[in-house]
Amino acid sequence: MNRTLYTQTGLFAVEVALFRLVESLGVRAEFVAGHSVGEVAAAYVAGVFSLEDACALVAARGRLMQALPAGGAMLAVEATEDEVRPLLGDFVALAAVNGPSSVVVSGAEEAVRQIRVHFEALGRRTTPLRVSHAFHSPLMEPLLDDFRKVVEGLVSRTAEIPVVSNRTGEIATKEELTSPEYWVRHVRDTVRFWDGIGALRRAGATAFLEVGPDGVLAALTQQSMGEDEQDCVVTPLLRKDRPEETALVTGLARMHCAGVDVHWARLFEGTGAQRVDLPTYPFQREPYWPTPAARTGDVSGVGLTATQHPLLGAAVSVADSGQVLLSGRLSPKAQPWLADHTVDGTPVFPPTAFLELLIRAGDQVGCDRVEELALTGQPLLLSATGATAIQVTIGAPDDSGTREIGCYARRDGASDEPWTCHATGRITAAESVADFDASVWPPQDTVPVDLDGFYEDGEGDGDSDFGPAFRTVRAVWRRGDEVFVEAALPGTGDDAALYGLHPALLDAAVQTAGFAGVDDSEPLAALTWNGVSLHATGASVVRMRVAKVGEHSVSVAAADAQGVPVLSVESATLGARPMQLAPAAAVDGTT
């Protein structure tokens, strides 16, 4: 089967048989394309040749190639066509252009070897092909006259299905497909497979099914797609590493899911299979799949730096100023946990989330300590259906390395509206010390606190404005003016890895401050933060010590479930959070 005489005839037989099989199952091709001898099979099923004439063409092609003297070489190279062409000469040719940086050269062994040495010196991948002859090269010239005599005796017709030409990389014309010279030069000329895939995409093709013995063309097609890959489905009908029936049904299923008609009843004829209504039971409507967190994409193409943070998507350094700007987009749809923090029924950006923004801003400029964060008193309202644009401005460092920060927001897309400042602060680089030992848990001499009704009856800032994401408190112990809190994100806590310390976890310290002696007759919010250092990231379960340090302030220290320090706060000043908002803000989400 490795002798070209049998390889070519075998490929033709398998490809035609597979085409007829899927055709019998209702799959109708709107275009056909092939690679080298595969284009002959494509032309036959498109109606250009009768079966007899197509077989005569393939047999003569393989026989004449096999009769040539053995020798020559073919080499797959990781390079562009423009990079390869200057290296070609009288004894080597560009045999195929399979992708944007995937070509095949073919010809005399020494000439091909020199090309291999050239590109390997550049660190490019090269792969010699296991062939008996150098196809699509000058070494094919001796067979062309004899092959021309065979083709001139065949009858060709207008194609009933558009055929993509290997020679031009475009939809072939009637004159090309019915010309004997076209098929003669087809043996010698470059296979422009990549260009052909581009022609199919321009013609509107979105589903590509390879009918052949392996999956080589499907892989080349995917490589040729570039940015179009996500809009297309590409699948082979057979795979060398899978049983034929499994690969066949899998390929047809992928086509079906992409909107291609498949007559499944014909596939199951004679098997005793019966159609059943699905589901056989009512939907329970209980989700079991993790909800993906909003992630930022690649913004480098527009001159920005991706922050890899779910709230802040991009960063840019302001030229010649030392200033840095971070921007993001808030939406309860993209970040569902935001919808669980409400006031008067309106989603409100959690005050603890502003601290997360400042910590991330500090990471961007090498500052690991938040000296101060203060809310301006203007809550950041979020639209339940729309989105909110945010910006964090980082000023140039002063003589001590401290930078001023501002957090701003406005409705997404409302370029005519002014930005509203919701928080200000200062960040700096300073050595941080974590002195909270949570290895013994709960600590000695503590008394457990009864949390029955904590999130139902208003105790400890627990009111109906906290949705599931913010109901993180699992246990509380008390020792004088110290409170020890265990908090965990609900579910699997998948979001935790994306944040320094998830704002919903940090909010547990605010919610339980009343147990430390802070007046919590009204629901509390952290109005200022001082001396904040992040020691580790990604915790989904935390152990916290909340200690009263002033009439309205507490210190906070947090560690993960293994006792590793996560966060330390010298002081957080607490005050009543707003319980009623302007109706207009609740309706349109303005800030």
Instruction: Decide if 358 contacts 503 (C-beta within 8 A).
Output: no
Q: At what angle do helices 37-45 and 51-67 cross, to 10 degrees?
A: 170
3-state secondary structure of 328: strand
* Residue whose tokens read 């009768």: 50
Nearest to 223 by CA among 335, 328, 76: 76
- How would DSSP label each residue in 238-284? --TTS-HHHHHHHHHHHHHHTT----HHHHTTTTT-----S-SS---
φ, ψ for residue 78, nearest 5 deg? -85, 90
CA gap 240, 236 in Å, rounded = 10
* Residue whose tokens read 């299905």: 161
* Residue whose tokens read 């195929």: 96
Q: At what angle do helices 51-67 and 4-24 cross, to 10 degrees?
A: 160
CA gap 250, 237 in Å, rounded = 8
- The verdict on whether 481 is a catalytic residue reads no
By the 10 Å C-beta count (0-12 exposed, 13-18 middle, 19+ buried), 323 is classed as middle
Question: To the nearest 10°, the Cα dihedral for 498, 432, 479, 573?
Answer: -80
445: left (phi over 0), alpha (psi -120 to 50) or beta: left
Pairing assessment for the beta strands 388-394 and 324-330 based on DSSP bridges: antiparallel
Instruction: Decide if 214 contacts 241 (C-beta within 8 A).
Output: no
Catalytic residue among 133, 186, 341, 422: 341
Of the CA atoms within 13 Å of residue 522, those in its CB half-sphere come to 11
- The verdict on whether 422 is a catalytic residue reads no
CA-only gyration radius of the chain, Å: 34
Instruction: Decide if 502 contacts 489 (C-beta within 8 A).
Output: yes
- The verdict on whether 507 is a catalytic residue reads yes
Torsion over CA: 135, 138, 139, 142 (sign): positive
Q: What does DSSP assign to residue 191? A: B
3-state secondary structure of 21: helix
CA-to-CA dists, residue 241 to 214, 244, 246, angstroms: 9, 9, 11
Q: What does DSSP assign to residue 563? A: S
Catalytic residue among 189, 461, 465, 507: 507
Catalytic residue among 36, 102, 137, 224: 36
**Largest pairwise CA distance in the chain:** 103
Torsion over CA: 45, 46, 51, 54 (sign): negative
Numbers of helices and strands, H then E, in the chain: 15, 22
Active-site residue list: 36, 341, 507
